[in-house]
Amino acid sequence: MKRIITYGTFDLLHYGHINLLCRAKKHGDYLIAAVSTDEFNWNSKQKKCYFDYERRKILLESIRYVDLVIPEGSWEQKIEDIKKYHIDTFVIGDDWKGEFDFLKEYCEVVYLERTPEISTTQIKNELNKQN
């Protein structure tokens, strides 16, 4: 069985997220989505999410492409996750291109093209304009 892992905040879940998860799943048989915890988002990324971690986790668990959802609590956990879950392929959006090449020592690294016309940041900006 070929195992894939991807990481993200997945706040305000949209079709760009679904597109990424669908394409990630095509790289293997079992897709793990690591979802950034609220603490990690705030302490390390200075991001405040609309939905809390538990709600984002439930949303991802309902997507047919995702086999397992785990918490992402730090930048450093990726190598540990790759070893623990016997990951064959690490997949992430190409806005991170080159940032995770160090993981090639442990598994294949794939940067997928983002869905260009949508992002959570764009949604938040549009909503702020309306208010």
Determine which one of 2, 25, 26, 47 is catalytic: 47
The phi, psi pair for 107, rounded to 5°, reads -165, 175
DSSP state letters, 15-78:
HHHHHHHHHHHTTSSEEEEEEE-HHHHHHHH----SS-HHHHHHHHHTSTT-SEEEEE--TTHH
Instruction: Tell me whether residue 25 is one of the annotated catalytic residues.
Output: no
Assess whether 78 carries a catalytic annotation: no
> Which of 26, 45, 83, 97 is flagged as catalytic?
45
Q: What are the catalytic residues?
A: 45, 47
